[in-house]
Amino acid sequence: MSASPVRMDDLPLTRFHWRIAGLTFGAHLTDGYVLGVIGYAIIPLQTQMNLTTWQEGLIGGSALFGLFLGSLILGWISDHIGRQRIFTFSFLLITIASFLQFFVTSAEQLIFLRVLIGFGLGGDYSVGHTLLAEFSPKRYRGMLLGAFSVVWTLGYVLASVAGHHWINSEPDAWRWLLASASLPALAITLLRMGTPESPRWLMRQGRIAEAHAVVRRFLGANVLPGDEISGITTRRISTLFSPRYWRRTAFNSLFFICLVVPWFVIYTWLPTIAQTIGLEDALTASLLLNALLIVGALLGLVLTWALSRRQFLISSFLLLALVLTALAFTPASNGPLILLLFVLFSTAISAASNLVGILPAESFPTDIRSLGVGFAIAMSRLGAAIATGFLPVALLSWGMRYTLLALVAVLVVGLIVSILWAPETKNLSLVEAADLPPKPQGKGNEHSVGV
């Protein structure tokens, strides 16, 4: 007797799920490393290339600007041609551009290559989150998507270890540091070849037989692709602002921006900030604080499993705003308290960052999932790029206190947006999550707060 049919959403975790997760996790490890090393490389570059303040800002924010372009453009293309091609192309681009950083001779060349790296990362963010979400069983989807933050953080911390170890070893150490990202990127590129297309995407294209073939081959003969139906939603950016989707587009973009702006501003420039606030041995201090991000990311996985999405997000914004306010008013002479507040901030923001991999992927239907995820990522990276690039000027013009208070204002906006629009998508299938009503339907139903 053949086994009873079971839907993809109801499966336990299989070896194939771990394979897809491993390919996306490995990419995020590389992503974190690529974005983390620039904070250390910028230190010797300041003198070797005689960088102006604006050039420092452009180098620090160029990959984020590339992320803006890549997540928007490659996310949109992915909804048209499928996930798999962009899944491979994005890391091929990252590999080549990372390697070429070794040979740069000017700030402009480095800025251009960092934009290309960011472009590939943007495509990987939008497609990687989407592909894993579309293969994951609903019970484990939050844990798997949230784990992106853990692995990304590990890559970022490895960048801190490499930067701390190499950066003062020789004058050209920054070249080796930046180019070293090409090695894991190449490994990920090769391993991704042969990755199957998303059955959910195939179903929505009306390619039913292909979707069933993928599921039978990789998940089992008795497994069904899911509850997708054939039919195409209009795949234009304007669709994200239609009456049905504008709230979820606004929510995902704004909460994402308000969470990553303080993250990228502080951690891209952490060695510089540590020196500014007077912490002794600034590189060591920043290394230890980065290591705490791993603890926070692991804590975030536990909280993602234990709490509702909405409760976790709102509480995180409130805590982060309070901690950064306290940090702004702590005298620079009080090093121990500053360090304690940075520890708390690092842990909390790393934990909350798990949600940026979960909520956007759960908020949009399959036809525009990569577009919606890509748009939210694009907006967040544009905001982070502008804020990161502006930080040297802000520190010079406003000082540390008012710069930190400006970041507090960003967190307060995120808190308000989350209170008004954050959905509850935990334990829902992707179709159910995307079909949440566009406005509240009454009190007492945790799934009624739609976006």
Nearest-angstrom CA–CA distance, 256 and 372: 12
Exposure on the CB side of residue 118, measured as CA atoms within 13 A: 29
pLDDT higher at 389 or 159: 159
All residues at 6 or more sequence positions from 243 whose CB lies less than 8 Å from its CB, including other chains: 438
Show the tokens assigned to 228: 């997708």
pLDDT digits over 264-313, tens only? 776 666 655 566 555 555 556 666 666 777 788 888 888 888 888 899 99
Instruction: Please tell me the predicted confidence (pLDDT) of residue 346.
Output: 83
446, pLDDT greater than 50 = no
Q: How confident is the model at residue 156 (pLDDT cuts 50, 70, 90)?
A: confident
Residue 6 β-bridge partners: 223
Instruction: Please tell me the predicted confidence (pLDDT) of residue 441.
Output: 38
Nearest-angstrom CA–CA distance, 119 and 114: 8
404, pLDDT greater than 70 = yes
Helix (H) or strand (E) holding 445: none
Q: Domain map of the chain by residue range?
A: 6-434
Q: Which of 450, 227, 228, 267 is nearest to 359 (CA)?
A: 450
pLDDT digits over 165-192, tens only? 777 778 888 899 999 989 988 988 898 8
Q: Are 28 and 155 in contact (CB under 8 A)?
A: yes
Show the tokens assigned to 338: 């500053």
Instruction: Please tell me the predicted confidence (pLDDT) of residue 116.
Output: 94
All residues at 6 or more sequence positions from 97 whose CB lies less than 8 Å from its CB, including other chains: 113, 114, 116, 117, 120
Nearest-angstrom CA–CA distance, 367 and 377: 17
- Which of 47-56, 95-104, 144-153, 282-291 comes out lowest in average pLDDT? 282-291
- Percent of the chain at pLDDT exceeding 70: 84
Residues in the chain: 451
Instruction: Please tell me the predicted confidence (pLDDT) of residue 228.
Output: 58
Q: Are 300 and 350 in contact (CB under 8 A)?
A: yes
Q: Which of 267, 266, 252 is nearest to 380 (CA)?
A: 252
Q: Given the structure tokens 């109801």, which residue do they identify?
A: 10
Instruction: Please tell me the predicted confidence (pLDDT) of residue 420.
Output: 92
In eight-state DSSP terms, residue 5 is P
Q: Domain 6-434 adopts which CATH fold?
A: Growth Hormone; Chain: A; (1.20.1250)
Show the tokens assigned to 23: 């390919």
Q: What is the mean pLDDT of residues 422-428?
A: 79
Q: How confident is the model at residue 438 (pLDDT cuts 50, 70, 90)?
A: very low
How many CB atoms neighbour CB 220 within 10 A? 16
What end-to-end distance do the CA atoms of the chain give, in Å? 45
pLDDT higher at 113 or 232: 113
Nearest-angstrom CA–CA distance, 266 and 264: 6
381, pLDDT greater than 90 = no
Q: Which of 58, 116, 129, 57 is nearest to 89 (CA)?
A: 116
Q: Are 138 and 83 in contact (CB under 8 A)?
A: no
pLDDT digits over 332-361, tens only? 777 778 778 878 888 898 889 888 888 888
- Which of 65-74, 282-291, 409-418 comes out lowest in average pLDDT? 282-291
Q: DSSP per residue over 121-190, as a string?
A: HHHHHHHHHHHHHHHS-HHHHHHHHHHHHHHHHHHHHHHHHHHHHHTTTSTTHHHHHHHTTHHHHHHHHH
Task: Please name the residue ranges forming H helices in 49-106.
Answer: 53-81, 83-100
**Mean pLDDT of the chain, nearest integer:** 81
